[in-house]
Structure 1
Amino acid sequence: MTSDNELARYESLGVEGAVRPVLTAPHPALARPGELVDPTDPEVVRLAADLFATMRVSPGCVGLAAPQVGVSARLFVVDVTGHPKSNTVHGAYALANAEIVESTRWRPGREGCMSVPDLTGDVKRASRVVVVGEAPGTGAKITLTTDAFEARALQHEIDHCAGLLFLDRVSGAHALYQRKVYL
């Protein structure tokens, strides 16, 4: 497990992020796997800051991946702080070139996505994962062990980087639901 100070935090990126438009399905960029990135490249650091900025202005958003803003890159941000389903929380962080190296305790759960704004769906995911990636800015190797909702969020964002939506993981139309709108 990594120490919290090794994670690429929004504040540690050193650049101000810009809010970008989020693509929605069936945009073809969402189905293309992202490219590996150099985490020390200033453009990757700027993109991470933009993802944080976009996530921050999007109510209920706990993660956002580069393909969702039209960039073919294996980069995403996550912050499940304050979410009622969270158990382990590492705060707001970015990961580049992340992959799951261990997954256990598979359970179904409801997911939504900014790129699929009208639907939610039941998706079976591991409730404990070990993820290895790199910190944008420093390129430090990160090993992140987490569970519960943060594990689900990481898997969801890694799927985006692989060109997958949660729609690709539901078992059928019976597992899709119209998103509730609260006024």
Structure 2
Amino acid sequence: MNVWVQGRPVGTYPTGPPEVGRGSMRRITEVGEEILRTPCREVAAAEFGTPELAALIDDMFLAMHIAEGAGLAANQVGVDLRLFVFDCLDGLGGRHVGHIANPVLDVPGPAGRRLVEDVEGCLSVPGASAVVPRTAHAVVRGFDKDGAPLVIAGDDYFARCLQHETDHLAGTVYLDRLSKRNRKDALRQMEDRREGVFERREMRAAKLRQRTVTGD
């Protein structure tokens, strides 16, 4: 499998990103909470390169890993910052791992505006999924945790991930892109399945804690 870390190809990379081992447990917010509906503030210049920002990224990777997600925005762990992390398969034989602060989604040219309809879910809408149209290619421009400029490009499912997470930082969830009927259906799915999702997350968290204690 081809792997890109922070948009650059690497030879090998562990299944569990190093950030996961350094992170602390954080709760994932759910749809209906105000922080998911409010545009996030930009990461300030003084915040780049700080231990606090690095620790937040580690915590977000851990939360994403426990919840078996492909991406996670800062407001999904209750933090009002324009920041998201990702560990996403693109559906084309590639894996993309990294983070980006203050991302801006490029407006695609005519060739990149082709919409693809595919199933999408969200860690903040546990247990639900729906078909959402997204462009087949996406580019986000922003900065890494130390303030260095960063460009992340993606195709297929990773393009969907980049668009989904950038939406979160604007206070938008994928439910907002659905018809009224499909949104109601997704919320019914969440009501029916959320407890099972939480049980699986708790089991994964418990296994991770056990591995930490035993050193496995």
TM-score by length of 2: 0.71
Aligned identity (percent) is 33
In terms of fraction of residues, the more strand-rich structure is: 1
2:99 is aligned to 94
Please, what is the CA RMSD of the aligned residues? Answer: 2.7
User: Is residue 2:40 matched to residue 1:34?
Assistant: yes
Which segments of structure 1 move beyond 4 Å, counting only runs of 4 or more? 179-183
Question: Structure 1 142/89 Cα, relative in aligned 2: closer, same or farther at 3 Å?
Answer: farther
Deviation at 1:79, TM superposition (A): 0.9
Out of 71, 74, 92, the position equivalent to 1:63 is 71
Q: Mark the runs of 5 or more structure 2 residues left unpaired by the alignment.
A: 1-5, 11-16, 201-216
User: Is residue 2:173 matched to residue 1:168?
Assistant: no
Query: Comparing both chains, which one has the higher relative contact order based on Cα–Cα distances under 8 Å and sequence gaps of 6 or more?
Result: 1
Q: How many residues align?
A: 174
Question: Structure 1 108/56 Cα, relative in aligned 2: closer, same or farther at 3 Å?
Answer: same
User: Is residue 2:135 matched to residue 1:130?
Assistant: no
Q: Note the alpha carbon deviations across 1:52-91, whole angstroms, 9 max, x for none.
A: 01111113x111110011100011111113xxx6226353
Q: Note the alpha carbon deviations across 1:80-127, whole angstroms, 9 max, x for none.
A: 13xxx6226353211111111133222222111111114212211111
In terms of fraction of residues, the more helix-rich structure is: 2
Separation of aligned partners in 2, 1:167 and 1:67: 16
Question: Structure 1 165/130 Cα, relative in aligned 2: closer, same or farther at 3 Å?
Answer: same
Q: Which SS does the other structure have where 1:173 is aligned?
A: helix
Separation of aligned partners in 1, 2:66 and 2:8: 28
Q: Mark the runs of 5 or more structure 1 residues left unpaired by the alignment.
A: none
Aligned residues of 1:34 and 1:163 also touching (Cα < 8 A):
yes
Larger radius of gyration: 2
Q: 116-125 or 43-52: which moved more?
A: 116-125
Aligned residues of 2:154 and 2:162 also touching (Cα < 8 A):
no
Amino acid at match of 2:92: N
Separation of aligned partners in 2, 1:107 and 1:128: 10
